[in-house]
Structure 1
Amino acid sequence: MLQKVVRSAVIDAPIARVWEVLRDFNSHDQWHDVVEKSRIEHGEPSSRVGCVRSFTLKDGNRIREQLIGLSDKDWQSTYCILDATVPLNRYVATVTLKPVTDGDRTFWHWESRFDAPPGREAELRQMVAEGVYEAGFANLRRYLAGGAHAERAHPASGTAAREVRLSRYGGPEELEAVSANAPQPGPGEVRIQQSAVGVNFLDIYLRRGWIPAMLPLPGVLGMEAAGTVIDIGTGVTGLLPGDRVAYLCPQPGSYCSVRTLAARHVVRLPADVDEETAAALLLKGVTADYLLRDLARVRPGTRLLVHAAAGGVGSLLCPWARRLHATVIGTVSSEAKARIAREQGCEHVIVAPDHRFAETVQSLCGGVDVIVDGLGAAAVDGNFGAAAKRCHWISLGQATGPLPPLDPDRLLHKSMSFSRPVVFDYVATPRELQERAQRVWQALAAGVLPPPRIERFALAAAGAAHQRLESRASTGSLVLLP
């Protein structure tokens, strides 16, 4: 007769943090006391459906299990026993997580079905329920709280960490979560325990291999994160262990749980800005700042066209420009995004999934003075059509593909200017970074900038976050939680 075991528990940790651990099919020897050692056969990634883990229990039993289902959307994994010295025949188990909004905790549901030899049904049900599931709940709570794991996490030479590594350019499936080590900070450096990591389209360009000089392989993506300072190197001033901080760094490497980097890229967080908000906001907010102040030079009456107006940068740029009394026109790809764009400051919103917007722009305001374009190839003709005389076209990204070479004569036709800025050149000194970050925090506190809409993913689910961003289905900002 088929046996069934069901157990549930509440874990005092955010769902993305719990999923970060459980999603790794080969992590159980790190947190579950019954597991002696484990490996993934044939060197496959531990999150690839179909991979097989072979492990030994501390009582001497040996088990081979296969991952047969994994869903970052549903926070669920399913696996089965292929063979084992324990007589759990046709064993199939499913782990499902659900968020508990009260206290930002996680509901963990674990269930299995299996056949047992006659006469051993009760014994094996108890073994699975208590020795595996209930012990697993207790072990993971201790692991997430620190416990024995924390004693191993800070050796003198470095800090044990996890990172998402890219070994070859390509799609989201090339991102793999692996163990890593964050070295002690050297002169002028800090080491940060990261709480949240920002995801940006630049990360996707690097993953695809569009800027190989910026990310040699193997490499780690990510330009920004927020967390707490662990320790500092010699010569560092203005930062102390325990400080809550965020950073914006021109060298990729933020897709990790602990990072060591130059202190010059780090800013302290105000008391009223949490780490997730900082990771979602810093790069995009600084971008909005230099676009409005330095390039667009927005003033009352400026006609501003913002593509992807409901996206990460657009959702900050539009309300900030409206506060400066600009006329703000935004393009979006759906009616749902149009509602968001209107809520966040767009005076006029054009739903243009086919990127046909020029005629509407001309009918609304006679052409625009500034275009902020994160679309790239698909918007070229529309941008020329929407521009007024002396329009400045700012190319901020290329979500629809790389820009083709621009014909200077087409620019000449309307006396247009074109720029392609890089955010890191506008925070080239610590002072510039501090000043721009301070304006972002002040705008947030004053209600000029709305609190960012955040979609959260576990660090190990970075590939799913990239898929979400590339699909253009996301609104606001995406954040990874180590």
Structure 2
Amino acid sequence: MVNSRVLVTRYGGTEVLQITEEPLRKTRGNEVRIKVECSGVALADLMRREGFYPGSPQPPFTPGYDAVGIIDDCGEDVMQYAIGDRVAVFFNGVGGYASFMYAQEDEVIPVPDSVEPANAVSILLNYVTAYQMLHRFAKVSKGDRVLIHGASGGVGTALLELGRLAQLQMYGTASANKHPIVVSYGATAIDYRREDFVEVLAHQAPDGMNAVFDPIGGKNWDRSMQTLHRSGTFIGYGYTSVFEEGSATDWSVRWRTLTEAKTTETGNPVHLYSVTALKQEKPEWFLEDVRHLFSLLEKGELRPLISHRIPFREVAVAHELLAGTQTAGKIVLVHP
């Protein structure tokens, strides 16, 4: 058997994505080998492919955060798992686009039997990010007003669904064609192309937002901060504006400056969230939150929005779809 992996051969567009094949090796020690069923696709994958993400690895590298699959080989010291077990694994943004992967026993998370693999893979990056921002950092309460930018995306729809469970008053920015999705979660949709969200919220929620979740960066961060309640919290968790303005250096400088300041100019709390950084700092939180979210998934309280299921070898199509404006929710690579 061989392992197929996606390689970013140089920084650039989808033409730099290539699939390479290599022989599989046996596991050893506490290792398990996982035959992947689904890999998640994220905007940060596109940023790393372009070389925009701060600290992007030098090509060639395999992108990807999250994967779910079946253990097909175990090292001699593995005690908790057996061949045939379905598990999830989360990487630091590199390694997920592969048909087989190796992980240490303590790096994998069991997936409940009743949970469909594409739904499970949606939990690892999107829902953990949304849950931790809402509950670990913003510490939202019933009735709180929140603004969600990119509300139709993978993390955006996770924020909407978890926000609905928390009984929040939600406002979400999205293009007009995606407003039905935003509204379906009980949120008020704002057309970011034709409306000024600062003005809309000044009229509809003059007391301001208890929390704002902004993955856009740049000038949007400054404008988002204008919508906060006097005690509201700003959470930045990305910098997608780098596709259109600025550079990875600008992103790093702004991120570092706000991290050190810890507040806006008006004194509101600021958190700059990175799921990978927090997982390294608080690994117990990651495991606890994944297990909690899997339990909600099992109970039918969460229904991740899967935009597209793309065959693994059509990874360039997945990237093109995510870079466009027609997708909503999570894009998943499906392995044969």
Superposed pair shares fold, TM > 0.5: yes
Name 1:48's counterpart in structure 2: none
Give 2:64's aligned amino acid.
Answer: G
1:424 corresponds in structure 2 to 276
Cα distance, 1:433–1:235 mapped onto 2, change above 3 Å: farther
Does 2:293 align with 1:440? Answer: yes
Higher RCO (Cα < 8 Å, 6 or more apart): 2
How far 1:354 moved relative to its partner?
A: 5.6
Does residue 380 of the first structure (1) align with residue 233 of the second (2)? no
TM-score, reference length from structure 2: 0.88
Cα gap change, 1:216/1:184 in structure 2, threshold over 3 Å: closer, same or farther?
Answer: farther
Secondary structure of 2:241 counterpart: coil
Cα gap change, 1:422/1:202 in structure 2, threshold over 3 Å: closer, same or farther? same
Is the Cα contact below 8 Å between 1:388 and 1:414 reproduced in 2? no
Report the equivalent of 2:310: 457
Match of 2:9 in 1: 167
Cα deviations by residue, 1:110-133 (Å, 9 ceiling, x for unpaired)? xxxxxxxxxxxxxxxxxxxxxxxx
Match of 2:184 in 1: 343
Report 1:76-225 matches (<5 A). Answer: 153=1, 160-211=2-53, 213-225=55-67
CA offsets, 1:42-91, max 9 Å, x none? xxxxxxxxxxxxxxxxxxxxxxxxxxxxxxxxxxxxxxxxxxxxxxxxxx
Q: Is contact 1:359–1:385 with CA below 8 Å preserved after alignment?
A: no
CA distance in 2, matches of 1:240, 1:376: 44
Query: CA 1:405 to 1:267, structure 2 compared with 1: closer, same or farther past 3 Å?
Result: closer
The residue that corresponds to 1:370 in the other structure is 211
Name 2:236's counterpart in structure 1: 395
2:113 aligned partner: 271
Contact 1:282 1:440 in 2 (8 A): no
Structure with greater Cα Rg: 1
User: Which residue is 1:243 aligned to?
Assistant: 85
Structure 2 contact 164–185 (Cα < 8 Å) conserved: no
Q: Distance in 2 between matches of 1:184 and 1:295?
A: 42
Q: Does 1:360 align with 2:181?
A: no
Q: Tell me, what secondary structure is at the counterpart of 1:220?
A: coil
Q: What is the rounded CA distance, in whole Å, between the counterparts of 2:103 and 2:320 in structure 1?
A: 28
For the pair 1:405 / 2:245, whether they are aligned, the reply is no
- Counterpart of 2:72 in structure 1 is 230
Aligned in 2, Cα 1:400/1:430: closer, same or farther, shift over 3 Å?
A: closer
For the 8 Å contact 1:199–1:478, the answer to whether it is kept is yes
* Residues 1:182 and 1:285: Cα distance change in structure 2 (over 3 Å): farther
2:127 equivalent among 262, 276, 285 = 285
State, as a whole percentage, how many aligned pairs show the same letter: 26
Question: Deviations along 1:330-383, whole A, 9 cap, x unmatched?
Answer: 11122x31100111232x111112672111112222211211111222523431
Following superposition, the deviation at residue 264 of structure 1 comes to 2.5
For the residue of structure 1 that corresponds to 2:319, the secondary structure is helix
* Structure 2 counterpart SS, 1:400: helix
- Whether the 8 Å CA contact 2:305–2:328 is kept in 1: the answer is no
Q: Residue in 1 aligned with 2:149?
A: 307
Instruction: Report the equivalent of 1:415.
Output: 267
Q: Matches of 1:425 and 1:380 in 2, distance apart?
A: 21
For 2:56 and 2:106, the matched residues in 1 are separated by 19
> Which SS does the other structure have where 2:321 is aligned?
helix
| TM-score, with length taken from structure 1 | 0.62
Cα distance between partner residues in 2 of 1:352 and 1:364: 16
| Residue 272 to residue 345, structure 1, CA distance change in 2 (3 Å) | farther
Give the 3 Å change call, closer, same or farther, for CA 211–172 of structure 1 in structure 2. Answer: same
| Cα-to-partner distance string for 1:266-313 (whole Å, 9 max, x where unaligned) | 111111111122123321111122112211101123211111111111
Determine the C-alpha separation between the residues in 2 that align with 1:225 and 1:187: 22
| Change over 3 Å in CA distance of 1:360–1:338 after alignment to 2 | same
Structure 1 segments of 4+ aligned residues over 4 angstroms from their partners: 406-409
The amino acid of 2:161's aligned partner reads P
Relative to structure 1, the CA distance from residue 328 to residue 182 in structure 2 (aligned partners, 3 Å threshold; closer, same or farther) is farther
Quick check: which one's strand share is greater?
1
Question: How far did 1:226 drift?
Answer: 0.7
Structure-to-structure mapping, 1:247-266, within 5 angstroms: 247-250=89-92, 252-266=94-108
Secondary structure of the residue aligned to 2:89 is strand
SS at match of 1:480: strand
Letter in 1 for 2:205: C
Judging changes above 3 Å, is the alpha-carbon distance between structure 1 residues 279 and 342 closer, same or farther for their aligned structure 2 residues? same
Aligned to 2:320: 467
Query: Residue type matched to 1:171 in 2?
Result: G
Question: What is the CA–CA distance in structure 2 between the aligned matches of 1:185 and 1:311, rounded to whole Å?
Answer: 37
- Aligned pair in 2 of structure 1 residues 372, 251: CA closer, same or farther (>3 Å)? closer
Question: RMSD across aligned C-alpha pairs, in angstroms?
Answer: 2.4
Amino acid at match of 1:308: G
Q: 1:480 to 1:169 in 2, by over 3 A?
A: same
| Separation (CA, whole Å) in 1 of partners of 2:149 and 2:97 | 27
- Contact residue 226 and residue 244 of structure 1 kept, 8 A: yes
Shift of 1:479: 0.6
Aligned 8 A contact 1:309 1:331 in 2: yes
Partner Cα distance (1:405, 1:452) in 2:
32
Relative to structure 1, is the Cα distance of residues 431 and 415 closer, same or farther in structure 2, using a 3 angstrom cutoff?
closer
Match of 1:480 in 2: 333
